[in-house]
Amino acid sequence: MDGTLTYQGIELDAVTALALLEWQAEMGADEPISDDTVDRFELAARPKPAMPQMPVSQPQTKTPPAPADAPDDPSALVAEAEALAASADSLAALAAVQEGFDGLELKKGARNFCFSDGNPKARVLILGEAPGDQEDREGRPFVGRAGQLLNRMFEAIGLARDAVDAEKALYIVNVLTWRPPGNRDPSPEEIAVSLPFVRRHIELASPDLIVLMGNIPCQAALGRRGILRLRGQWTEAFGRPALPMTHPAYLLRNPAAKREAWADLLSIAARLDSGAG
């Protein structure tokens, strides 16, 4: 190549070549065109260099995790609980078989077994829900803030858990004796498995009346929830007169509801004074 600029066989000086380039740019010619023709089909026919073959790794198959053990059949656990409960001829024996029962997973995460508190000969049995954190620590039901309020409530009508006289005493039991994690509500299955022990507990204590303290006891004893609708209405549970009441924890969150709770306490006092069982 001698460096001479040509356009269609005509020699161009530098000034003409630059002017021609600018004109082509204005016309939209933005790609260089060679004077020699190129056979594009010939280029396409040429084989492309082979790409190096990369080794193909076999996909790694993960071994599926072993299936978790299926939960125990609730009906079988209920039957086992019923047999154990029926075998107990005293509260001490019931506490022993219930604490030794392994049909509730809750047992594995709880600190202590919460069987009862108060005087077992009391005319009034309070059925609560389940242990909270403080109850789990101490192994007794209703010892936290809600329990302190419960004490004051019933002391107002002359009843106390530490009273020796059965006429003035309280006996406190929970539907569940093991704390649910995070203070969650017990599941229907947990209630069903616990119910045979609750029923036998009440048979052995033989109270004159039962206070169903909150939704979970109502579900266990009556098969119903909705404590705000049920409270204050006498019914029957486990073959005994029973009165649903709002849980003290609810009263701590809703102080205005204490007036209704006071009305329920007066109803209990009147029932006891009348000698009705």
DSSP string, the chain: ----EEETTEEE-HHHHHHHHHHHHHTT--S---SS---HHHHHHSPPPPPPPPPPPPPPPPPPPPPPPPPPPHHHHHHHHHHHHHH--SHHHHHHHHHH----THHHH-SS----EE-TT-SEEEEE----HHHHHHTSSS-SHHHHHHHHHHHTTT-BTT-SSGGGBEEEEES-SSPPGGGPPPPHHHHHHHHHHHHHHHHHH--SEEEEESHHHHHHHHS---HHHHTT--EEETTEEEEEE--HHHHHH-GGGHHHHHHHHHHHHHHHHTT--
Antiparallel, parallel or unpaired: β 5-7 and 10-12: antiparallel
Q: How far apart are CA 217 and CA 28, in angstroms?
A: 88
Structure confidence at residue 50 (pLDDT): 58
Q: Which amino acid is at 115?
A: F
pLDDT band at 277; cut points 50, 70, 90: low
Read off the pLDDT of each residue in 150-164 and give the average, rounded to a whole number.
98
Q: Name which of 23-32, 102-111, 153-162 the model is least confident about.
A: 23-32
pLDDT band at 265; cut points 50, 70, 90: very high
Beta bridge partners of 172: 117, 126
Range of the domain at 137: 74-273
- Would you say residue 55 has pLDDT above 60? no
Residue with the two structure tokens 């569940």: 176
Structure confidence at residue 74 (pLDDT): 86
Read off the pLDDT of each residue in 121-143 and give the average, rounded to a whole number.
97
Domain assignment of residue 3, yes or no:
no
Domain assignment of residue 39, yes or no:
no
Structure confidence at residue 212 (pLDDT): 99
Between 129 and 59, residue with greater pLDDT: 129
Q: How far apart are CA 125 and CA 109, in angstroms?
A: 27
Between 189 and 53, residue with greater pLDDT: 189
Domain assignment of residue 99, yes or no:
yes
User: Alpha-carbon torsion 121, 126, 127, 128, what sign?
Assistant: negative
3-state secondary structure of 124: strand
pLDDT per residue as tens digits for the range 76-85: 999 999 999 9
Mean pLDDT of the chain: 86
Q: How far apart are CA 30 and CA 26, in angstroms?
A: 9
Q: Which region holds residue 232: left if phi is over 0, alpha if psi is between -120 and 50, else beta? A: left
pLDDT band at 113; cut points 50, 70, 90: very high
Structure confidence at residue 275 (pLDDT): 81
Q: Name which of 11-20, 87-96, 214-223, 246-255 the model is least confident about.
A: 11-20
Domain assignment of residue 237, yes or no:
yes
pLDDT per residue as tens digits for the range 162-174: 999 999 999 999 9
Structure confidence at residue 27 (pLDDT): 46
Structure confidence at residue 64 (pLDDT): 42
- Would you say residue 267 has pLDDT above 60? yes
**What does the block give as tokens for 68?**
């978790």
3-state secondary structure of 72: coil
DSSP code of 161?
T
CATH number at residue 97: 3.40.470.10
Domain assignment of residue 186, yes or no:
yes
Domain assignment of residue 48, yes or no:
no
> How many structural domains is the chain composed of?
1
Read off the pLDDT of each residue in 98-113 and give the average, rounded to a whole number.
97
pLDDT per residue as tens digits for the range 20-53: 566 555 544 555 555 555 555 555 555 555 555 5
Domain assignment of residue 31, yes or no:
no
Read off the pLDDT of each residue in 53-79 and give the average, rounded to a whole number.
58
Structure confidence at residue 264 (pLDDT): 98
Q: Name which of 28-37, 58-67, 132-141 the model is least confident about.
A: 58-67
Domain assignment of residue 45, yes or no:
no
